[in-house]
Amino acid sequence: MMTVKIALSGAAGRMGRTLIESCRETQGVSLAAAIERPGDPSIGIDAGVLIGSGKMGVTVVDSLAEVIPQFDVLIDFTEPKATLDKVQACRKAGRGMVIGTTGFSAEQKKIIQRAAQRIPIVFAPNMSVGVNLCFKLLETAAHVLGDDVDIEIIEAHHRHKIDAPSGTAVRMGEIIASVLGRDLAQCAIYGRHGTLPQRDSKTIGFETIRAGDLVGEHTVMFAAPGERVEITHRASSRKTFATGAIRAAQWVMQQDKGLFDMQQVLGLR
């Protein structure tokens, strides 16, 4: 079996360290490069030492160009501007990517779409297998319950997460809106305060919580008079996202070019 050589961007962050551990534990992949922003204290440290285990022979560097020849697929969970810089470099070098970064603008997403005309990219707001199963369940719920329910999406993450609502919550809203023939940009309500008019049943509400060290929780509520249906996913460890990202990296190696999501990686569509 071919070993997929993986590079990690944002190696010293919470997700990066979890990914290093997953690379160490997963058969069929190897950590080939670890990148951090210039000036980060982790520069020059072995990736294995960074996570508190034995040396892996991969030193954290501050330049993607320095390690381009060493890897097959780059996994990036950083922030939009840094990710887009990596997209351009990978496009030029013909390297695949797995992007878990969220918070992109519509124009920034177009840059990723253009790059995918040359290289294979898995771009998903959430790499968790469970969350992607929930996406499929949401399609079914929206089809069955239709316009007869009020829909609310509640998400909670750790205090350091900067984009709100989360990319996963937005994707949930997009899926539901698509099934119901609505435009999420027009029907989304983000938080409520003060004296409000009666709820418009065509809207989709979002509530955001940022607290402590919550890894990630998402609940979609379909509420009708007399009953409600809730679809919930709770992540207790970043390992679930890392496992999914590694799986996506192995899958994207089999693709020539194109823009894909985790639904395709998992065979859900």
Q: pLDDT tens for residues 200-255? A: 989 999 999 999 999 999 999 999 999 999 999 999 988 999 999 999 999 999 99
For residue 269, pLDDT over 80 is answered with: no
For residue 197, pLDDT over 90 is answered with: no
| Long-range residue pairs from 170-178, CB within 8 A, at least 24 positions apart, any chain | 170/125, 171/125, 171/126, 171/135, 172/134, 172/135, 172/138, 172/218, 172/220, 173/204, 173/206, 175/135, 175/138, 175/139, 175/142, 176/138, 176/142, 176/151, 176/204, 176/220, 177/204
For residue 19, pLDDT over 90 is answered with: yes
For residue 25, pLDDT over 70 is answered with: yes
Where in the sequence of the chain do the CATH 3.40.50.720 domains occur?
Answer: 4-123+238-265
Average pLDDT score over the chain: 95
For residue 5, pLDDT over 90 is answered with: yes
CATH superfamily of 129-235: Dihydrodipicolinate Reductase; domain 2 (3.30.360.10)
Going by pLDDT thresholds of 50, 70 and 90, the confidence category of residue 268 is confident
Q: What is the CATH number of domain 4-123+238-265?
A: 3.40.50.720
Q: pLDDT tens for residues 46-99? A: 999 999 988 999 999 999 999 999 999 999 999 999 999 999 999 999 999 999
Q: pLDDT tens for residues 150-182? A: 999 999 999 999 899 999 999 999 999 999 999
Question: pTM for the complete prediction?
Answer: 0.81
Q: What is the pLDDT of residue 1?
A: 62
Q: What is the pLDDT of residue 2?
A: 81
- Catalytic site positions: 157, 161
14 within 8 A of 234, measured Cβ to Cβ: no
For residue 195, pLDDT over 90 is answered with: no
Where in the sequence of the chain do the CATH 3.30.360.10 domains occur?
Answer: 129-235
